[in-house]
Amino acid sequence: MRLAKKVMGISKLVIILLLLISFLLGATLSYIWTMGFYAPSEFNIPSQTNLTIENVQFYPGDATFFNVTVLNPSYSPSTATVQQIKVETENGLLHAIVSTDPPLPKDLARGESQTFKNVWNWGDYANQKIKVMVVITEGSGATFETNAAFMNLTIAQVSFEPAVTVTRFNVTVGSMNSPISLDINKILVNGTEVGIMPPQTLPFTINPNASVTFTLNRNWKDLQGKAVTVEVNTAQGYRARKTVSAPPPVVLTFENVVFNNATSTQHFNITVHNDASSPAPINITDVTVSVQGTTVPITNITRIPSGPLQPNSSVLLVVYWDWSEFQGTSVKVAINVNTSQGFVATTEASIP
């Protein structure tokens, strides 16, 4: 009787174990079957290489290059060959990077990453959206969008002062909220480098949130009434540009030149007119006469009326010069009327 009970107890335990084993085996088979159904879509290994751009880094202290870190993932089927790196800027222009370190093309094994130094001046696109594209030989390259580093180098003002001078003009440069100091090393006017006048000299360091006014040593008489583009360059690769219109020309004309034998051979008269279109009054300083290869500066003149010659006004100049030795020769005399601003009026007359 006791033996029968023991056998019955063992049989129940065996049945329970068999049920547990059947349950676990069924669950395992069910999981395997389910994963076998869904795995092809969930864990599909790509058939082509698919690169990833891990990072794009711009450095405010040097706008002549930027870095791109590229990864060939470990699940890629093969080595990837990076053929080219391109940049698309906010204005829609596509820029091909022609110089990288290491140079391209460059092979990347599965699971390998590489940082490329790209030589390209992005200073004109500071704080703008930049799309970086990596092109490979076969498979899918990568794109990455970011903003270039912030810099705020600007030309705040270009100032011409025709009432003061035509021999120079001023340019005010600012660097509001910029993250670093910048070294201004070149200033150009319509593409040609120009010098500056003391007290500043180039290179000149401009600090964040500072501004400076440069006086350009450039006669702008040839620029009157024209578009003028001023460009400021820095050693860090940044540029600022501003295009303005220079004031219209100062137009000085001669209404008459009078050598009067009956009055005196010790002086002659000139009437000069400042046109209504002229942007400023001018100050007549002296007159030069050139006759038979000799040029004579004359500062002894009387102005009627005195004071600056306003636009749409005329002045009578009594020029004290002894022209008696040329009397009766009908010799021609070249006459220049000079101004403190650097404007010159020129005419020619005959001595009777």
3-state SS record for the chain: CHHHHHHHHHHHHHHHHHHHHHHHHHHHHHHHHHHHHHHHHHCCCCCCCECEEEEEEEECCEEEEEEEEEECCCCCCCCEEEEEEEEEECCCCEEECCCEECCCCEEECCCCEEEEEEECCCHHHCCCEEEEEEEECCCECEEEEEECCCCCCEEEEEECCCCCCCCCEEEEEECCCCCCCEEEEEEEECCEECCECCCCCCCEEECCCCEEEEEECCCCHHHCCCEEEEEEEECCCCEEEEEEECCCCCCEEEEEEECCCCCCCCEEEEEEEECCCCCCCECEEEEEEEECCEEEEECCEEEECCCCECCCEEEEEEEECCCHHHCCCCCEEEEEEEECCCCEEEEEEECC
Total-model pTM: 0.80
Q: Which CATH code for domain 154-245?
A: 2.60.40.1890
Q: Outline which parts of the chain fall under CATH 2.60.40.10.
A: 52-147
| pLDDT mean values, one per 10 residues, the chain (352 residues) | 51 66 62 48 60 96 97 92 96 96 96 97 96 90 95 97 97 97 98 97 97 98 97 98 97 95 92 97 97 95 96 97 93 96 96 92
Q: Which superfamily does 52-147 belong to?
A: Immunoglobulins (2.60.40.10)
Taking Cα atoms as reference points, which of 244, 252, 295 lies closest to residue 271?
252
Mean pLDDT of the chain: 90
pLDDT value for 45 = 53
pLDDT in tens, 286-330: 999 999 999 999 999 999 999 999 999 999 999 999 999 999 899
User: Which fold does the domain 252-350 belong to in CATH?
Assistant: Immunoglobulin-like (2.60.40)
Residue positions counted in the chain: 352
pLDDT in tens, 122-170: 999 999 999 999 999 887 789 999 999 999 999 999 999 999 999 999 9
Q: Outline which parts of the chain fall under CATH 2.60.40.1890.
A: 154-245
